[in-house]
Amino acid sequence: MASTFPALLAALLRADAGRPLVTFYDDATGERVELSVATYANWVAKTSSLFVEELDLARGDRIRVDLPTHWLGPVFLGAAWNVGLTVVPDGDADAFVCGPDGLEGYAGRAGEHPVVACALQPLGVRFRDPLPADVHDFGVEVWSQPDAFLPWDPPGADEEALPGTGQATLLTPSDDVLPLADGDRLITTANPVSPDGLATFVQPLVRGGSTVWVRNADPATWQRRRDDERATAETGQPARS
């Protein structure tokens, strides 16, 4: 079992780079995005380079990822751990990631700490309107980053992935956190960057599985979507009214 995120992602690429890893639906907009292991790794590499080369973040720094349920959530988590950053759920941090709803609240911190804003449009495109001063538009800056990332100071097994939790501990399969079988495909309404939803990304990842995240889930189409996606496990099924 890999003891760091970079080692785990490398192992997944060697095993089957073309299989689906991250799938996202928004039932309110009809959006569907699917990232294979290779495509996910490419997004993680570009975002890792953005963190290090453009934002001057380094191993041991703290980052807060404040996004709704979205496919970019697992990308930012992976990039943070790829670099050796600690993902914090709230409070002070060395850098912040937000969506459109959080832009006003985080813009005031941009003069002191890096703030990356995501438009959350299909294909990761930019904001239509100019952003506040010093706020980085992810949809602009990520595309110029290289497709491969090799850290000069890679994280170790004891590097904090979460406050008080090292990478090796985070990446240890645990039925106590979310009981899954190896290779399970999970469908869920949870937010992967939230403390309660983090396991919907990590546990399938370490068990060689994958996840389908559904935002604004329509209870009427849930079972059909589960069948279409060949999900073998679920959590957070939407309640019918």
Could you give the residue ranges of the DSSP H alpha helices within 1-129? 5-16, 37-49, 72-83, 103-107
- Measured CA distances, 35 to 18, 41, 119, 142, 192 (Å): 9, 9, 18, 16, 15
Q: Measure the CA–CA gap between 105 and 56, rounded to whole angstroms.
A: 22
| Domains contained in the chain, CATH given | 5-146+159-235 (3.40.50.12780)
Mean of all residue pLDDT scores within the chain: 95
Q: Give dist(CA 116, CA 178) in Å, integer.
A: 30
Identify the weakest region by mean pLDDT among 24-28, 125-129, 161-165, 199-203.
125-129
pLDDT score of 30: 94
In whole angstroms, how far apart are CA 10 and each of 7, 34, 45, 67, 161?
Answer: 5, 19, 12, 26, 18
Strand ranges inside the chain, DSSP E? 20-26, 31-36, 62-66, 86-87, 95-98, 115-117, 135-137, 160-162, 165-166, 185-188, 210-215, 233-235
Whether the pTM exceeds 0.95: the reply is yes
Q: Do residues 87 and 80 lie in contact, with contact meaning Cβ atoms separated by under 8 Å?
A: yes
pLDDT digits (tens, 9 = 90+) for 65-121: 999 999 999 999 999 999 999 999 998 999 999 999 999 999 999 989 999 999 998
Residues 6 or more apart whose Cβ sits within 8 Å of residue 175: none
Determine contact, residues 55/155, Cβ cutoff 8 Å.
no
Give mean pLDDT, residues 23-39. 97
The pLDDT, as a whole number, for residue 241 is 56
By the 8 A CB rule, do 61 and 94 touch?
yes
